[in-house]
């Protein structure tokens, strides 16, 4: 089990290192953060679809997402020690493309095409996955993690509402929907065999010694 987690931890560290490097150099001092952002339905800014989540507007923005992602990773690894990188790749591709599709939803015409940046899309994908697994599996472990997420990140759902114009709630929704989708699609396949809930054995009928009388 420890060996299985090592690969996922290494993958996480590489992703975090990429976040730090792209934040450091993905600012106006080099190639400009906006050039690498996600511009909804803009085919000319195609590279931003895959790199927008790495770019951040400030150190506070970056570290907030790094801390949340690390916490959700720890909770993810408890149940799925071998599949962190697989999940991260899936959610990154699906959620980024979904945000590219729906990023203009709720925007006034004057703000249509606003750039979306930040790894909170990943945080919501991990959160949506973990919460959905808790509902699907309903084991002691998954439910404990489910309620821990609700307790620690009770404000998680506020980020889904268009409250702050500076916050990409469309990105949060994209991440959450992606996490739910992957949980419904893959979570049962990813669980270790010992953790897959099997149906209770049916009691074998007891022969009635008097049935032939």
Distance CA 39, CA 16 (A): 23
CB-CB contact of 189 with 115 (8 Å): no
pLDDT of the residue at 121 = 96
Query: Residue 106 — pLDDT band, cuts 50, 70, 90?
Result: confident
CATH number of the domain at 2-192, out of 1.10.3470, 2.60.120, 1.10.1160, 1.20.1540?
1.20.1540
Each residue of 180-200: pLDDT tens digit? 999 999 988 998 776 555 444
Residue 3: per-residue pLDDT: 61
Q: pTM for this structure?
A: 0.83
DSSP string, 12-66: HHHHHHHHHHHHHHSSTTTT-GGGGSB-TT-GGGTHHHHHGGG--SSHHHHHHHH
Please report, for the chain, the start and end positions of each structural domain, with discontinuous segments joined by +: 2-192
Instruction: Look at the chain and count its residues.
Output: 213
Helix, strand, or coil here: 116?
A: strand
Interval 59-86: pLDDT, tens? 898 999 999 999 999 999 999 999 999 9
Determine the pLDDT at residue 28: 46
Whether the per-residue pLDDT at 31 is higher than 50: the answer is no
Give dist(CA 187, CA 123) in Å, integer. 17
Please provide the distance, in angstroms rounded to a whole number, between the alpha carbons at the two ends of the chain. Answer: 58
Q: What's the pLDDT score for residue 30?
A: 42
Range with the lowest mean pLDDT among 77-81, 107-111, 209-213?
209-213
Q: Which two tokens stand for residue 31?
A: 């190639």
The residue-averaged pLDDT of 160-179 equals 93
Q: Are 41 and 112 in contact (CB under 8 A)?
A: no
Looking at residue 200, what is its pLDDT?
Answer: 46
pLDDT at position 110: 67
Which structure tokens are listed for 62? 């970056």
The pLDDT of residue 208 is 52
Q: Average pLDDT, stretch 18-44?
A: 71
């Amino acid at each position: 089990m420890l060996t299985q987690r090592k690969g996922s931890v290494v993958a996480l560290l590489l992703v975090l290192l990429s976040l730090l490097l792209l934040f450091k150099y993905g600012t106006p001092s080099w190639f400009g953060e906006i050039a690498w952002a996600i511009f909804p339905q803009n085919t000319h800014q195609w590279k931003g679809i895959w790199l927008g989540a790495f770019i951040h507007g400030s150190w506070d923005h970056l570290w907030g997402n790094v801390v949340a992602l690390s916490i959700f990773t720890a909770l993810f690894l408890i149940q799925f020690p071998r599949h962190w990188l697989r999940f991260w790749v899936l959610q990154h591709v699906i959620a980024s493309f979904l945000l590219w599709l729906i990023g203009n939803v709720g925007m006034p015409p004057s703000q249509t095409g606003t750039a979306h940046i930040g790894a909170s899309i990943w945080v919501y994908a991990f959160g949506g996955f973990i919460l959905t697994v808790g509902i699907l599996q309903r084991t002691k472990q998954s439910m404990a993690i489910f309620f821990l997420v609700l307790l620690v990140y009770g404000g998680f759902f506020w980020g889904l509402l268009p409250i702050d114009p500076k916050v990409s709630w469309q990105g949060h929704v994209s991440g959450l929907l992606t996490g739910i989708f992957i949980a419904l699609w893959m979570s049962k396949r990813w669980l270790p065999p010992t953790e897959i809930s099997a149906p209770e054995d049916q009691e074998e009928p007891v022969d009635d010694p008097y049935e032939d009388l």
